[in-house]
Structure 1
Amino acid sequence: MDDNAQPGHRFFLVREDMLPEALVKTVQAKSLLARGDVKTIHEAVEQVELSRSAFYKYKDGIFPLSKLERDRIVTISLDLEHRSGILSKVLSLIAGLEGNVLTIHQTIPLQGIAGVVISVEMTRMDMDVSTLLDRLRGMDGVSRAIVTGQG
């Protein structure tokens, strides 16, 4: 167990049949709502035979694994030297690693450095965020790369 982990910020991968019934039914109710099969939380919990209080207790803490995989998005702030092709090389690296660039914001270069903020979907990437940052920092023309958001 990591002594630095804070409650509510740790995740566990658990087989469905090992979970308490209320957690499984919470996921089922959320699924009904997401698909539009029901219009209200009341309808969803009634259909899966779960109390509303249990639904509200667990709804923000349990997700299907596929949901977590889809939402693997990181926002990275970069300082790039103001030279032709640097941003293009950064984007090519991300694409080559199976990353999907969702947004790009670039500032006007000041003192030879342009600030760039990129949001990247990492679902298909076979690496963690720190490895991606190391790869970006190792590129010619990248003077800084830090994570500013993750979801």
Structure 2
Amino acid sequence: MTKKVFYLIDEEVVPEIYKKVVEVKKILSSGKVSQVTEAVKVIGISRGAFYKYKDYVFLSTNDQLGHIVTLSFFLDHTKGVLSGVLNKVADLGGNIITINQNIPIDEVASLTLTIDTKDMKVSIDELIQEVKKLKGVCSLEILSRK
């Protein structure tokens, strides 16, 4: 299977049809209109053009770049450890996007957190140091940064 490649392109050089497809998607998701037929009419493109590009054109902003971090933990299987981790991340301004905790094996549970760090009060390295200090956190490492 071939790996998909994506390009980020400055809005100034994006063809008008792609911008209009994004606008149709915006008004559909906002609920201002409920039908594709109505949305394309408002924006001024054909249904065919919308369906041709809708799965390939997405809006990205500078705000969305570089703020998503996935962390991997091993936690003691002790009451309150997970909530302590979640509270510390929230206290430092991290917005938790996903949580995946597995069943404990030998009294240790693995945890994966994906965090939006855009509004954090500290760097990701400082967050890691603070969370590592919590009772019951056995290990913590960064899996990915996006």
The answer to whether structure 1 residue 90 and structure 2 residue 82 are counterparts is no
Q: Cα offset for 1:105?
A: 5.6
Identity level (%) = 33
Amino acid paired to 1:135: I
Q: What corresponds to 1:14 in structure 2?
A: 10
RMSD: 4.0
1:139 to 121, 132, 140: 132
Give structure 2 stretches of 5+ with no counterpart.
Answer: none
Q: Cα offset for 1:26?
A: 0.7
Q: Which moved more, 1:36-45 or 1:96-105?
A: 96-105
Contact 1:82 1:114 in 2 (8 A): yes
Name the CA shift for 1:98/1:62 in 2 (closer, same or farther; >3 Å). farther
Q: Cα offset for 1:20?
A: 0.6
Q: What corresponds to 2:43 in structure 1?
A: 48
* Structure 1 segment 1-150 matched on structure 2, within 5 A: 6-8=3-5, 10-15=6-11, 17-65=12-60, 69=64, 76-82=71-77, 86-101=81-96, 104=99, 106=101, 109-125=104-120, 131=124, 135=128, 139=132, 141-143=137-139, 145=141, 147=143
Q: Cα offset for 1:40?
A: 0.9
Q: Cα offset for 1:117?
A: 4.3
Whole-Å Cα distance in 1 between the matches of residues 120 and 9 of structure 2?
20
The alignment's TM-score, normalised by the length of structure 2, stands at 0.63
Whole-Å Cα distance in 2 between the matches of residues 144 and 26 of structure 1?
41
Name the CA shift for 1:99/1:61 in 2 (closer, same or farther; >3 Å). farther
Q: Cα offset for 1:78?
A: 2.7
